[in-house]
Structure 1
Amino acid sequence: MNYSWLTYKCWDGSPMEPLDKLHHVLFPYGPPVGDEVNLCMVPRYITVPWLEKMLPTSSGVFVVEDLIDSIACLFITMVLLSISWYVVYYVWNKVDHRFAAVTPAHKKWYVIANLSKSFLLGIQALSIRYWLSVYTSYIEGRYKVRLELKRCIVLYVITDVVALFMVPKLPRSTVTHHVTTLLMAMVVWSVDNTIPSTQGANGIVKMIIIYGQCSTVAYLVNAYLAWRVVYPKAGWVKITCHLALLSYLLSCFMNWSFHLFWLYGCVVNMDISILTILYIIGLAFTINDDIKLISWLIKQKSPMATN
């Protein structure tokens, strides 16, 4: 087995950051070199007749290879993350009486799920390589989206997917949110985003990606949602709340600014379709949820706030 990925360098010759290493270990990018195996590419060479009949062939819009690659990455990461959740649950429950005392017991999985999402969003938001990849894809690449960014979306949605199976008694609204996130991710994975355009369906897909990318900035919100359950009276949890609010405001400002700029372009170019209107309506509901969460975080900052 070739372990050259241990010393693998990025496209500009610089050493890999933690995000790059995690990304490459889980699903290395590029064709196999020697006897090095890219696990995500394996399904491409497996013939499944019934699946081939279900999926349309690649075209100017649909890219079956990217969809299969991303789903393979999702499955690999889902298995690894599920195992890690069980390990964290067992160890934390043994060494920390405050976590062990959390009631009802199913809330412990809620805590682990939020910390998991905070970690996976955080390693993206704090990676210069991640934002450089965003820049080269959207600016230098004239809004082309490379396969690496599609795989980063796997890291964005994986906690939601695992939570559907492992977190008991999820509210119906949360289940709807997680399923919608996964379906939107599958749309992004299957669309050919290398087309240099921000108009039409292709533009909507890219705005979905931008929304997810900017949302990684607010990774502290999930950390706060978890820590407040286990350590409700800790002073550093209150500090986390303040930082979470600031990061969420920044995330919303970035998202809303990008979308206003995109919407302005749609109006100027007379590119208003039914899909555009439906996306804007869906976006309005999302913004409404953003405003509610901002209001809730502001209330949590109050000295009189209770958990």
Structure 2
Amino acid sequence: MAELWPKCSDGTLMEPLDMLLSLFPRRGAENWTSETCFVMVPSPVPNFVKSSGLYDSLVAYFSSSLADEILDSVRTLVLLSLMITVAMVLSFCVCNRLSSNFRNVAPAHKKWYVIAKLFKVALLGILCISKKYWAAVYRTYYFDQFLAIPLKRTMAIYAVSDVVALWMVPKLPTSRIIHHVTSTVLFFLACGNDMTVQGWTGNLGVAKMIVVYGNFITVAYLVNAYLALRVLYPPNSRMMNLLCLMAFCSYVLCCTGNWGVHLIWFLHGLKTLSFSVAALPYLVAVRFLASGDIVLLQWLWERSSPAAKNQNKDKKTTTE
């Protein structure tokens, strides 16, 4: 099996994340550990444009590395969305034919919910098992060294599952639609900033905190696995009870760390008065996302804790 797995130029086995990023070839895009950030070569500017003062600022921007990063991020998100859409359709057909549990899911539109969640688990799992991803996270937070294109492509891998769910999953609840739209908007806001600049204040600080939020949620991918598999398998089985408990514990740790880091950032911003105008809508968005996290934590607790299950049964008996 190892002989069939793709290899890097040095002969080592290629990581799943490298295979995913290699679908979008670009000079330097595979460099996760370089000391310096990517240097983009500006495109040549025609003479008639150079002589026109009206377009100077636009030409300067669209030949900059930041504009190049934004275009690359959008291209990556679009191509990934198309690939995931096709893969979801094929997976739906295969599962519907081979799996009786999947075929018997009712109502039928929940099948797309299961497929979307499993694809999200696969994408986030690829990130979590990658050594290069964790090396980049370490350098990001310990040295404040944000890589440019690899970071934003990784953000696109996270955001694509929410984007595709908006058009592939029928009858999404309004709260989930708002959640997916919010995460997609935050992705584009983060991509519009030059992450290679040092510091955590102003609009740059907001963009970096979006990355922090996404990194914490990425680690809690077991929650999505439980949400998908509970539709296919009996929720009271030993396997599902264990998965629910693991999902709950991982989500508690991720949410606690996430909220703690945001609280420290918020208090530091108040102390130094370093907030930008973008901080207020971002905090509102985080407040909305956090409320959804709390509801999900309560729901997982009710299904993972024997004491909570017995308490719910007692309440039901009393009501009846």
- TM-score calculated relative to the size of structure 2: 0.79
Tell me the amino acid that sits aligned with residue 64 of structure 1: A
C-alpha contact (below 8 Å) 2:105/2:231 kept by paired residues: yes
Structure 1 counterpart of 2:108: 105
Q: 1:284 aligns with which of 276, 284, 287?
A: 287
Could you tell me how far apart the structure 1 residues matched to 2:146 and 2:305 are?
44
* 1:140-165: CA deviation from partner (whole Å, max 9, x where unpaired): 3x343421010001110111111111
The answer to whether the aligner puts 1:137 opposite 2:140 as a matched pair is: yes
Q: 2:254 aligns with which of 251, 255, 262?
A: 251
Q: Please, which runs of 5 or more residues in structure 1 have no aligned partner? A: 1-5, 33-40, 46-52
Could you tell me how far apart the structure 1 residues matched to 2:200 and 2:13 are?
32
Question: CA 1:15–1:56 in structure 2 vs 1: closer, same or farther (change >3 Å)?
Answer: farther
Structure 1 counterpart of 2:161: 159
Question: CA RMSD, aligned part only?
Answer: 2.9
Cα distance, 1:269 vs structure 2 = 2.0
* 1:83-118: CA deviation from partner (whole Å, max 9, x where unpaired): 111111111111111110101111000000011111
Q: 2:80 aligns with which of 74, 77, 80?
A: 77
Question: CA 1:301–1:31 in structure 2 vs 1: closer, same or farther (change >3 Å)?
Answer: closer
| Rg (Cα) greater in structure | 2
Q: 1:272 aligns with which of 259, 271, 275?
A: 275
Could you tell me how far apart the structure 2 residues matched to 1:254 and 1:14 are?
34
The answer to whether the aligner puts 1:27 opposite 2:30 as a matched pair is: no
Could you tell me how far apart the structure 2 residues matched to 1:193 and 1:214 are?
18
Cα distance, 1:66 vs structure 2 = 1.2
Q: 1:57-206, aligned counterparts within 5 Å?
A: 58=61, 63-140=66-143, 142-206=144-208
Q: 1:232-243, aligned counterparts within 5 Å?
A: 232-233=234-235, 234-243=237-246
* 1:22-75: CA deviation from partner (whole Å, max 9, x where unpaired): 222x2234269xxxxxxxx9xx99xxxxxxx9x96628x992211111111112
Q: Please, which runs of 5 or more residues in structure 2 have no aligned partner? A: 1-5, 30-39, 45-54, 314-320
Cα distance, 1:287 vs structure 2 = 1.9
Tell me the amino acid that sits aligned with residue 282 of structure 1: A
Could you tell me how far apart the structure 1 residues matched to 2:170 and 2:281 are?
32
Structure 2 counterpart of 1:8: 8
Could you tell me how far apart the structure 2 residues matched to 1:143 and 1:198 are?
12
Could you tell me how far apart the structure 1 residues matched to 2:107 and 2:205 are?
44
Q: 2:265 aligns with which of 253, 262, 265?
A: 262
Q: 2:225 aligns with which of 223, 226, 234?
A: 223
Q: Secondary structure at the match of 2:91?
A: helix
Tell me the amino acid that sits aligned with residue 105 of structure 1: A
Question: CA 1:265–1:9 in structure 2 vs 1: closer, same or farther (change >3 Å)?
Answer: farther
Could you tell me how far apart the structure 1 residues matched to 2:189 and 2:205 are?
13
C-alpha contact (below 8 Å) 1:9/1:15 kept by paired residues: no
C-alpha contact (below 8 Å) 1:62/1:190 kept by paired residues: no
Tell me the amino acid that sits aligned with residue 225 of structure 2: A
